[in-house]
Copies of this chain bind each other. A is one copy, B any other.
Amino acid sequence: MSDSDKKDITQEEAPENAKGITNGRNASETLNGKTKDDFDLAAVYVSDAQYNRNIFFDTTPEAIRLYLLYNHWVLRIVVYAFIIADLALAIFEDPAVIPLPIWATTLIELVCLAVFTVRLVHYAKVIPRERFWKDPKNICIIVIILLSLVDMLIYGSLKATGYFAVRWSRVLRPLLLVNVTEGRQLRRAFRSIRNALPQILYVFLLFMFSVLMFSLMALKLFGKKGLTTNDGGAYFNDYLEIVFDLYVLVTTANSPDVMMPAYNSSVFFAVFFIIYILINTYIFMSVFLAVVYNNYKKYLKEEVRQLVRAKRHKMVRAFGVLQERKGEEGPVVTQASWNQLVRLVQPDISNAHRELLWSVSDDSNKGCIGKVAFVQLADLLNMQVIVVKSRPHPLQMWLPSLYLSSPSRLICRMVRHRLFVYAFDLIILVNAVFIGLDEENPLIANAEWAFLALYLLEILLKLYTFEPRAFFSKHEFWNWFDTVIVISALIATIINSVLKSSGGYTSRQILDIVFILRVLRLIRVVDSIKRFRAIINTLIKIGPTILTFGQLIVVVYYIFAMIGMELFKGKIRFFDAESTDPEKAFCGNPLLKNSLFAKHNYCKNNFNNVVSSFILLLELTVVNQWHVLSSGFTAVTHVSARIFFVLFHIVVVIIIINIFIAFVLEAFFVEYTVDKSNLQSCLEKKIEELELGVKQDHLVGNLVDAMETDDNDMGTSESTKAKPALMFKIASKRYKTVDGLLQRMFEADLDPEDFAEDEDFDPNNPSNVTFPNPNFDSV
């Protein structure tokens, strides 16, 4: 069915409520003249709007079914699993952590590439051909796959003939993570960086000019003074060395050592370094943050605005598919269609929840909703409404006489009492002291059993008092945390003591796990203090966005690790503690004799496998001793190896870490300042009207308006009193998706009535090239 056919149906036939239109489709299940295909199409639009997918799919029923399959979570997970497998190949390829023969890694890589190809072909079937070839991310994936194949061929043949060969295509692998359909956030982050680059470049050039000027001044001031560094070398008499030293000073890694010879010679020379640090370390680094932050915010804002527009487009299209004409009110969607749609979009939604959402949309109880109310659906579905079922305790059902007896009631009252929480906080603190003491002491070792018993007792008492399904509901993070930690600690402690008593053998690993679990248990104290809970909730909320940066970091680290491994593998060797090899003193490389690198015992910081590389890159990100680490690698190769390390510093520390800080700042400000959206207030009001709300005692004046801190108080709300069987509350501030947080950041700037009509929709904008609207029905 062509687009124009589609348009005809929605525009002409739908208003007439014509029934039984088959028109070549599966018309078996019709509702108000809509076929199942119509509902499928609308559901796809709504679901795309909900998850901000901007894929321009064919609207034929077959393409929609293929598209639904394409978006299926199993397939998405499979793709990610194969990307991870592809990336993880670095562990097994030379230089390997666990060496595998070349044919094995090649085979795995071929399988991965095959999966990516199949996924791409699937995608090509879903969207129109000309769209497919216009989309740069598809081209990217095709190029990566082809280059990988070429590289494998070259590498294999060179290796077979005994030549030296480099697996250069490994650098491309992390780009798959960026170009895969689901990598929207990551692509957006990269686009933001790319857009900010020109401005960063100008500041960077000015900054480098400043460093070069100061270096020239340093050369003239200190070069002829005959000063020596702490290890006896000449001080500041080579221009390029000075530039490097002063660049390192910007990272603060060689402060104050680089200044000491001059300072020892005269106090006035310290002024030079103070001015340098003030200008280059403090002011320029702050300016970098300001420029990165400002650009990031600006472009992100624009992109999110486009995203919100696209979302509304899709909802309007879904409306166009399902609309009917009813009376004088213009096109509407009936409750029956709406119910059918919501059931398709979110099969696991409870009836009560769905009815609640409907009552919010259809505020005046007309049985049908117009476009404005319909468009809210995506946002309504994204709002996390927690359905609280008020059920009696199972024990009350099975043994009512016992459970309702006065001792039992006393226990329940006791457990619910504030003192119960305080008592266990005290126990945790005592436990902390015991953990700190020597565990060889038998008294202490036995005390551990007592503590475990107490914690178990606490959980059992709570389960006795509170309804177990409510206690272990999805949102009760701390209950889950407690139970998992206590039970794992119990199991690990039992295994440990069994091992000990049976053979006198203590497994170091199990003991370590026991220790970690014991200490983790102490975290519970934080949960008792409301203000801490509020801070932690904010941190948890920015978690998903930190994950996007995790991916960004992985991509950048992976590329640098691959290059670093090719450049530096095997140059520095690590000898473990038992080794008596004389080469141990200089990391197996005579060029490192008496070097600071060897003196600091940094031999394990090498590029000999992908794990060490990642840890080394992390150390370089932390920056301290950056110059000592890089000096080791320049010593064993060539002074130009510094380029690699400086480049890493610029990319990771100046750009990516600043974007990370910018994102945390922005996320915190959103948590501080953004009020509830209108829609959310509507939903809350409705819940209150229906008297289905859970009483929330807001904790005002905390770090953030601690909307959610009573999530974990749920278990303590008295469930035995007469209340509606079903209650709702909004986990208002916890948006499901990263996009949700981003949209909330900028939604204040968006007009809720702005439906992004065609006139202000720019198809030339690359950010929405995957979502134009050829068959958009302006109603």
A interface with B by C-beta (< 8 Å):
199, 202-203, 205-206, 209, 213, 216-217, 219-221, 230, 239, 252-257, 259-260, 263-265, 267, 270, 274, 277, 281-283, 286-287, 289-291, 293-294, 432, 435-436, 439, 512, 515-516, 518-519, 522-523, 525-526, 531-532, 535-536, 539, 546, 574, 576-577, 600-602, 604-605, 611-612, 615, 618-619, 622-625, 629, 657, 660-661, 664-665, 668-669, 672, 703
Contact = CB atoms under 8 A, between A and B. Distances in A.
18 contacts: A202-B703, A206-B536, A216-B519, A217-B515, A217-B519, A220-B519, A252-B622, A252-B624, A253-B624, A256-B622, A256-B624, A267-B612, A270-B615, A277-B622, A287-B664, A289-B661, A290-B664, A294-B669
Contacts of A612: 267
Contacts of A209: 525-526, 532
Contacts of A254: 624
Nearest to A657: B282
Contacts of A624: 252-256, 624
B265 A577 contact: yes
Interface centre among A221, A522, A665 (most CB of B within 10 A): A665
Nearest to A508: B225
B436 A274 contact: no
A615 B274 contact: yes
A255 B286 contact: no
Contact of A519 (B213, B436, B512): B213
A213 B524 CA distance: 11
Given A203-B535, A265-B577, A668-B291, A256 B515 contact: no
A661 to B, nearest CB: 5
B625 A274 contact: no
A270 B604 CA distance: 11
B257 A600 contact: yes
A205 B622 CA distance: 23
A619 B256 CA distance: 6
Contacts of A668: 287, 290-291, 294
Contact of A255 (B205, B512, B531, B619): B619
B217 A264 contact: no
Contact of A665 (B290, B619, B660): B290
A287 B522 CA distance: 22
B522 A220 contact: no
A601 to B, nearest CB: 5
Given A255-B624, A286-B661, A436-B219, A202 B531 contact: yes
Contacts of A625: 255-257
Nearest to A522: B213
Nearest to A205: B532
A425 to B, nearest CB: 13
Contacts of A259: 619
Nearest to A203: B535
Contacts of A629: 256
A264 B604 contact: yes
Contacts of A439: 220
Nearest to A576: B264
Residue from A256, A536, A546, A619 whose CB has the most chain B CB atoms within 10 Å: A256
Contact of A516 (B221, B525, B601): B221
Q: Copy number in this complex?
A: 2
Contact of A622 (B281, B287, B669): B281
A293 B664 CA distance: 12
Nearest to A668: B290
B230 A600 contact: yes
Contacts of A661: 286, 289
Nearest to A252: B624
A290 B663 CA distance: 10
Contact of A256 (B260, B283, B525, B605): B605
Contact of A213 (B281, B523, B619): B523
Contact of A216 (B206, B216, B435, B672): B435
A436 B515 contact: no
A106 B203 CA distance: 50
Contact of A221 (B216, B281, B512): B512
Nearest to A239: B436
A577 B515 CA distance: 52
Given A264-B604, A277-B622, 6 more contacts: A206-B526, A217-B516, A220-B512, A260-B601, A281-B622, A287-B664
Contacts of A256: 602, 605, 619, 622, 624-625, 629
Contacts of A525: 209
A213 to B, nearest CB: 6
B267 A611 contact: yes
A264 to B, nearest CB: 5
A519 B218 CA distance: 10
A385 B294 CA distance: 30
A522 B252 contact: no
A584 to B, nearest CB: 11
A518 B219 CA distance: 12
Contacts of A264: 574, 576-577, 601, 604
Nearest to A264: B604
A369 B657 CA distance: 55
Contact of A539 (B277, B283, B576, B664): B283
A541 to B, nearest CB: 12
A220 B515 contact: yes
Contact of A604 (B205, B263, B576): B263
Closest 4 A/B residue pairs (Cβ): A220-B515, A290-B668, A286-B664, A256-B619
B532 A282 contact: no
Nearest to A538: B287
Given A219-B436, A624-B624, A602 B260 contact: yes
A254 B531 CA distance: 31
Nearest to A260: B601
A277 B516 contact: no
Contacts of A576: 264
Contacts of A435: 216, 220
A623 B664 contact: no
Contacts of A206: 526, 532, 535-536
A257 B432 CA distance: 28
A281 B257 CA distance: 23
Nearest to A435: B216
Contacts of A539: 283, 287
B277 A618 contact: yes
Contacts of A619: 255-256, 259
Nearest to A539: B283
Contact of A294 (B252, B289, B546, B672): B672
A287 B546 CA distance: 13
B289 A665 contact: yes
A265 B601 CA distance: 13
A289 B291 CA distance: 16
Contacts of A216: 432, 435-436, 519, 522
Contacts of A574: 264
